[in-house]
Chain A
Amino acid sequence: MADPISPFHRAPKAEDWTEAEAIAAAQRGGAEAFEWLYQRHKRRVYSLCLRMTGNTAEADDLAQEAFLQLFRKIATFRGESAFSTWLHRLAVNVVLMHLRRKGLPEVSLEETTEPTQEDGPKRDVGGPDMALIGSVDRVNLERAIGRLPPGYRTIFVLHDMEGYEHNEIAQMMNCSIGNSKSQLHKARMRLRDLLQQPQSQGAARP
C-alpha cells in the first residue's frame, strides 16, 4: 500500500544499498546496516550451523556468535576477500570450535570407529543392487544427514553442501587431505545406506 504520508515517514531505504555500501555504513556503526547484512546472510549462516550440529538450540547460539564475531571485526574488513567468504569461513570456525569443545570427533579415526556398512557383506535392506536414482527426496535426505555421525556430517556439509575443497577442509579441520577424502566417501556411503532403509525404521535405530 503506498503511503501518502510525509516524506520522512520512511528512511531512505537500505534496500537500494549494495553490499559494499552496507558494509561501509556498518563500519560507521549504523544499526540499519548491520541488520541489512544480517538479513542477507542469515539463512546460509544459520543452515550451516544447523546442519553441522543437527540441533536447533546450538544452531541459534552459534549463528549468533558468528554474527557477533563478524560485526565486532567489521571495522577491519578491507575487502581483500569477498564478504560472504569471510563470513562463512568465520561461521565454520565458530562451529568447529564448538564441536571441539564438546569433544566430538570431527574426523573419525580411520577404521577404528564406526564400522561402516561397506565393511560387511550385508546391506540387508533393498539388496546391493538397489540404486537410489530418482528416489532421494528432500525430507529423507535432511533426516539422513541429521543421523550421520558428527565427523561424517561435518565433512559432508562442508564439501558437498558448502562447496569447500578438500585442501580447505583439511586446513580447517587440521587433518590430511586424504583423510578428508576418505571421510567424505564414508559419509556418502552412510547416507546411501540410510536412504536405502525403509522410512518406517525412522530414527529408532542408533
Chain B
Amino acid sequence: MTDCQKFEAALADTPELERLAPPAREHARQCIRCARLLADFQAIVGQARGLLAPEPPPELWADIRRQLEAEGVIRDAAGEPAPAKPGPGAPLVQSAPRTSR
C-alpha cells in the first residue's frame, strides 16, 4: 500500500484533518494530490451535512393519521387540537379540550 493509498483509507473514517492520525496529517502536508483530495472531501462533506432537510408533503400526516385511526393505534382522536383558523365552513361545534389525565 502506498502512502497515498493509506491516506485515502484514512479519509474514509473522517475527512476532518484534526481527526486524522499524525502520519496521515503529515502525508497531507507533503503530497499535493492528497491535500487536494482532503480539501475537496471536506468541502463536499461539510456542505452535505449542511443541506436543508426537505419538508414532506403536507398530506402525509393526514394519511398516516387515517391509517393509525383505522388500526386503533390512535384511540383518542378527540385530543385533536382545534384548527387554528377555522375556515368559513368550519363546524360550530368545537371539541372540548381533554385534560388527558
Contact = CB atoms under 8 A, between A and B. Distances in A.
Interface of A: 8-14, 25, 28-35, 38-39, 42-44, 46-47, 50, 59-60, 63-64, 67-68, 71-72, 74, 129, 131-138, 141-142, 145, 156, 160-161, 166, 181-182, 184-185, 188, 191-192, 195
Given A28-B100, A160-B49, A185-B12, A131 B73 contact: no
A38 to B, nearest CB: 6
A155 to B, nearest CB: 10
Interface in B53-99: 53-57, 60-61, 63-65, 67-69, 71, 73-82, 94, 96-99
A85 B96 CA distance: 35
A8 B43 contact: no
A65 B98 CA distance: 29
Interface string B28-72: 000000001001110111011111111111001101110111010
Contact of B80 (A25, A32, A63, A134): A32
Contacts of A42: 55-56, 60-61
Contact of A29 (B65, B67, B74): B74
A72 B71 contact: yes
A198 to B, nearest CB: 17
Contacts of A60: 56-57, 60
24 contacts: A10-B82, A11-B97, A29-B76, A30-B98, A31-B65, A31-B78, A32-B81, A34-B65, A34-B68, A46-B60, A47-B54, A59-B56, A63-B60, A64-B60, A131-B40, A132-B43, A133-B39, A138-B52, A141-B51, A160-B45, A166-B12, A181-B13, A188-B44, A191-B44
Given A141-B48, A188-B44, A25 B100 contact: yes
Contact residues on B (Cβ < 8 Å of other chain), bracket: 35 or more
A8 B96 contact: yes
A178 B11 CA distance: 13
Given A166-B13, A184-B12, A138 B43 contact: no
A12 to B, nearest CB: 6
Contact of A72 (B15, B73, B76, B79): B73
A34 B56 contact: no
